[in-house]
Amino acid sequence: MWRKHWVVGMVVGIALAVCLWSSPWAGQAGADVAVIANPEQKPAAVTYSAEVWLDMNERVVKGTLTTRFVPQDDKAFFHLYPNAFATEADLRSENWEQVLGKQREPGGIAISAVKVNGRQADVRYEGKTNTLLRVPLPQLPPNKAKAETVVEMSFRLQVPYNNGRLSYHDHAMWLGNWLPILAVKDSGGWRLDPYTAIGDPFYSEVANYHLRVHLPEGYQLATTGLESVAVVTQTRPQRQSIYELDAWNVRDFAMVVMDDTYQAMSGKVGETVVRTWSQQGDDAAVVNSLHQTAMESLDYYGKQFGTYPYKEYDVVKTGGFFGGMEYPSLVFIEEEFFNTANSMGAAVVAHETAHQWFYGIVGNDEVREAWLDESLTDYATMAFLQEKDAKRAQAYMRMRQGQSRAAEAYAKQGIDAETSVAAFPDWKSYNELVYGRSGVMWWTLRDAWGAERLNQLLRQYVSEHQYGLANGAAIKELVSAASGADATPFFDYWLHLKLELAEAANGWLEKVKHE
């Protein structure tokens, strides 16, 4: 995610009745697998199927969701992220205001009619603002193989109004982290983290999605999935289009609903269609520049870190957003960047595009290890900007280096780059550590190794963890193996701010520089 408030210095420096088939991709009921994904892709272990109705006047999304998965426990938890915005009193802090703005209206998601394998389930809400749904699952005998479980539910989402990931304005509604999604259970147990003000407090595994969306006449969609209009129906008071949306091996499913003031500029990078969505009246030259950045950065990252596996990539103008936000095959970009002729918008688009690899293709625990995807994303952003315009890239890197030096002061406070998002006291510390300090760490390694050597290592990282979950230990081990020497002093100096290890970190760099 790119956040507007931490780049102020950069401005100067850079100037269904739901279709419940056994699998939505089985037989004639599903979409053509070759269209959805590359041939080598295998379907994920979890499938979400939903039928959704949109009321653009009331800002309400109703629907049914069916989740198919093999349980790991006698229960499952679904994140209900929209409920973080249900109570205004819980959002009264400076950190929340930096994300959501001052003008806000509450919203939330209500769940009903939950069934497990066709039987009514006794579920309960958990979390401070009901951001979790606990669903009991049938227990199996110890000697019986685990079987697929089907959880069905109905939902009603009242979309909140704010500057965040889930909101609207007069011409569009953007839905980020809106559908109920299964929580991750890993070696540390169930990960049931709340929706925090700071960072991207999300942790998810890839899944397959099929949505059938009933859309009022006069609106269009940009989504994580591939869209096709199945049928146009005559209903009262207005006609509706029914869209079929499919996505394989994606970490989340986001969607933007736009009226006819929006139009797309299209191009193609390899097998991927790239669309940049702007509005009538936006600066045409700026929009074209953003579109070119989206295409060029997608192409660059694909060559450096591994081919982009999805068939579409949408860059969409949203409202008074807080910079940019990444989702698989889709990113939200703040509206002001579509009319501002400076390099900030290009940097934002490049950053969110890099997240397609680091968060999207390779996932990680963004709550406990926010540095991992953000540092690699920002390194990739710097590398792309350097390739595109070295002079302007220097301004970006000077900003990051300044943040990195400022971050050293946090050592005395016991805050470092590997701190959980909930433990950061404010956005400033988060930005300077997670982006500045951690991003410069990778650039320092690039200075020692050269771009090709480091990018080759990152290609290996992406290849080994594609569609999976990685952690900091994995990439540290990869660096150590590639260098032939234990990289612990290097990472401890940069991430844990162990300034006494500066000499050891530099010694390690010199030792492995010419290996």
Instruction: Could you list the residues known to form a binding site for Zn(2+), using ranges.
Output: 351, 355, 374
Q: Whole-angstrom Cα distance, residue 259 to residue 134?
A: 37
Pairing of strands 226-233, 172-175: unpaired
Any idea of the CA torsion for 398, 402, 408, 410, to the nearest 10 degrees?
-130
Residue 352: active-site member: yes
Q: How far is residue 373's CA from residue 379's CA, in Å, rounded to a whole number?
A: 10
Question: Residue 157: which of 219, 77, 42, 80 has the closest Cα?
Answer: 80
What residues form DSSP beta bridges with 158? Answer: 60, 108
What is the C-alpha to C-alpha distance for residues 393 and 411, in angstroms, rounded to an integer? 28
Residue 379 is among the residues annotated as catalytic for this protein? no
What does DSSP say about strands 181-182 and 166-169: parallel, antiparallel, or unpaired?
unpaired
Task: Give the largest Cα separation in the chain, rounded.
Answer: 73
Instruction: Give 115's contacts (C-beta < 8 A, 6+ positions apart).
Output: 121, 150, 151, 152, 153
Cα–Cα distance for residue pair 41/34, rounded to 1 Å? 9
Are residues 356 and 301 in contact, defined by beta-carbon separation less than 8 angstroms?
Answer: yes
Nearest-angstrom CA–CA distance, 160 and 105: 6
Looking at the DSSP bridge assignments, the partners of residue 430 are none
Amino acid identity, position 358: F
Instruction: Supply φ then ψ for residue 348, to 5 degrees.
Output: -65, -50
Number of neighbours of residue 195 by Cβ within 10 angstroms: 21
Are 108 and 160 in contact by the 8 Å Cβ rule? The answer is yes
Binding-site residue ranges: 351, 355, 374
| One-character DSSP codes across 317-334 | E-SS-SEEEEETTEEEE-
Question: CA 201, CA 194: separation in Å to the nearest integer?
Answer: 7
Sign for the pseudo-dihedral over CA of 41, 47, 48, 49: positive
Residue 352 contacts residue 331 (beta carbons within 8 Å): yes
Quick check: 99 and 163 in contact, CB under 8 A?
A: yes
* Cα distance between residue 345 and residue 11, in whole Å: 10
Place of tokens 């269904």: 16
Q: Which of 335, 352, 366, 418 is catalytic?
A: 352
Residue with tokens 């991207």: 200
Q: Looking up tokens 């400033």, which residue turns up?
A: 428
Cα distance between residue 182 and residue 199, in whole Å: 20
Handedness of CA 381, 386, 388, 392 (dihedral sign): positive
Q: Which of 81, 209, 359, 435 is catalytic?
A: 435
Q: Could you give the CA distance from residue 433 to residue 441 in angstroms, rounded to a whole number? A: 10
Active site residues per annotation = 352, 435
